[in-house]
Amino acid sequence: MTQQVLYCNDVDATLNNIIGGGNYNAVMVLVDSNTCKLVLPQLPCLSNAHIIEIAPGDENKNLDSLVHVWQLMHNAGATRKSLLVNVGGGSITDLGGLAAATFKRGIAFINLPTTVLGAVDAAVGGKTGINFNGLKNEIGVFAPASTVIVSTCFLNTLPHRELKSGFAEMIKHAMLSSQKQLFKLLDFDLSNIDYEKLLEMLKSSVKIKENIVAQDPTEQGLRKALNLGHTVGHAIESLAMEHGKPVPHGYAVAWGLVAEAVISHLTLGFPSDDLYGLARFMRENYGAPSITCYHYDRLITLMQHDKKSRDGEINCTLLNKCGDFTIDNTIAPDTMKNALDILRDLLGV
């Protein structure tokens, strides 16, 4: 699986070079109505491209949108020598990647993520997909973009909480890498963004993911490490949704990372300094989830039904210390309840 990742802030020139050197017979660009309005005008090199627009949001990452993209690629006369440029967040790069990977058995595509979450997670690593039958990413293939262009120049088109949401995934990568990397991120001032520094951090973050994906591109084992924080995070996210008070994915991941660091501390001796540093940063930047002990049973049921769960048991990635992880750990419900108590104490619920 080869995928070139470029880091730059002159996106139009970079894209122009790639398109100019590719000898494509048609160039198409997939956008949602937000990136169509806010990002496309900043990319004059795409002014002659066929525009394919879909409605924004994960709920539109579905079969109807996929058919729409296929249809417009067909109408544009796309062949195997054509190129699709995906401009948007994770929903766009997931959907566009799948559309390109399946059209005429596969055409080249470029991912231009416009969110932090997209840049450090969805756009890199070759996962593509759509939601189906109420299940997230139920249909998809592993297919890397030929190039991913990572930049910070479109991040100010988004609400600040979107940026924070993606930063939580960067913290996850740092925890999987080293204590030094974690402390570097915990030192970053999210209330006054230094975009140059952020681009450097995005670079390190993507490299951590690339390194894991290179060893296990199709998630047979090691890649599951990237689920750190997500067992508890997904359960909190689903509970919030059930209560009609959705929370951004990255906020739920931020709380999930603290909860799973607590379990790592209780069961594997993950250092308390790292746990407290992490918890303080998350409390200050992401607040706390609305959970009480009355929600524990529901949260545990949700965790037992998580995609990663086998035989109805709670499955988590845990850390001996930053950079030293173990996958496929089974967590007893009582240990999880204990961790949720400590999580609420640490976050001041």
Identify which of residues 96 and 125 has a Cβ nearer to ligand GLY in the complex. Answer: 125
Residue 85 CB, nearest approach to ligand GLY (Å): 21
| Residue 226 touches ligand GLY, criterion: CB under 6 A | yes
How do strand 135-139 and strand 130-132 relate by DSSP bridges? Answer: antiparallel
Rounded to a whole number of angstroms, the minimum distance from the CB of residue 332 to ligand GLY is 25
In whole angstroms, give the CA distance from residue 95 to residue 130. Answer: 6
Q: State whether residue 104 is helix, strand or coil.
A: helix
Contact letters for ligand GLY, residues 42-71 (x by CB under 6 A): ------------------------------
Question: How is residue 127 annotated by DSSP?
Answer: B
The answer to whether residue 237 forms part of the interface with ligand GLY (CB under 6 A) is no
Q: Measured from the CB of residue 125, what is the shortest distance to ligand GLY in angstroms?
A: 4
Q: In the complex with ligand GLY, which residue's Cβ is closer, 25 or 215?
A: 215
**CB of 227: closest distance to ligand GLY in angstroms?**
7
Instruction: State the amino acid at position 171 in one-letter form.
Output: I
The vertex-56 CA angle with 26 and 255, nearest 5°, equals 125
Q: Which of 223, 234, 249, 265 binds ligand GLY (CB under 6 A)?
A: 223
**Closest CB to ligand GLY belongs to which residue?**
226
Q: What is the per-residue DSSP string for 249-293?
A: HHHHHHHHHHHHHHHHHHHH---HHHHHHHHHHHHHHH------G
- State phi, psi for 180 to the nearest 5 degrees: -60, -45
Rank residues 118 and 289 by Cβ distance to ligand GLY and give the closer one. Answer: 118
Cβ distance to ligand GLY smaller for residue 14 or 131: 131
* 320 sits in which H/E element: strand 314-321
Nearest approach, Cβ of residue 223 and ligand GLY (Å)? 5
Nearest distance, CB of residue 19 and ligand GLY, angstroms: 27
Strands in 50-54's sheet, in edge-to-edge order, are 4-7, 147-150, 108-113, 83-88, 27-32, 50-54
Nearer to ligand GLY, 87 or 226 (CB): 226
Residues touching ligand GLY, count (CB under 6 A): 5
Q: CB-based burial of residue 133 (10 Å sphere; 0-12 exposed, 13-18 middle, 19+ buried)?
A: exposed
Q: Dmax of the chain from CA atoms?
A: 61
Residue 127 found at the interface with ligand GLY (CB under 6 A): yes
Nearest CA among 183, 161, 164, 59 for reference residue 120:
164
Residue whose CB is less far from ligand GLY, 226 or 279 = 226
Beta carbon nearer to ligand GLY, 163 or 225: 225
Question: By CB under 6 A, what part of segment 92-121 binds ligand GLY?
Answer: 121
- Site residues (CB under 6 A) for ligand GLY, limited to 278-317: none
Contact 261, 295 (CB under 8 A): no
Q: Which residues bind ligand GLY (CB under 6 A)?
A: 121, 125, 127, 223, 226
